[in-house]
Copies of this chain bind each other. A is one copy, B any other.
Amino acid sequence: MTEGRERAPELDLELAAVLHALGDPVRLALVRRMAELGESACSPDGLVVPRSTLSNHWRILREAGLTTTRQEGKNRIMALRRAELDARFPGLLAAVLGGP
């Protein structure tokens, strides 16, 4: 090594938050569903998860910047911010969604 000390590595908080949001099997399933269908109701069919747990998952996805929410009557409809994510983290969503 030619230098006595390297610079402190940058901590990438925004990317870490996105990866953390994606790093749960239920949230991954929600993201996949939105990628396939365009959007998702708050409690989609086929996911046997308590409503309060789902709300928490949606909150984590929203706070990490992965989703938008719109109200439709009494329902909230979530959508993936795909264009923004692809611009900010090129290739990330494709790699995640391309998985098995």
Contacts and interface: CB of A to CB of B under 8 A. Distances in A.
Interface in A16-30: 16-29
Contact of A29 (B10, B26, B90, B98): B10
Given A89-B99, A90-B98, A94-B91, A32 B19 contact: no
A90 B96 contact: no
A83 interface: no
A72 interface: no
A45 B17 CA distance: 24
Given A92-B95, A98-B90, A100-B15, A9 B29 contact: yes
B45 A100 contact: no
Contacts of A15: 28, 96, 99-100
Interface of A: 5-13, 15-29, 32-33, 45-48, 89-92, 94-96, 98-100
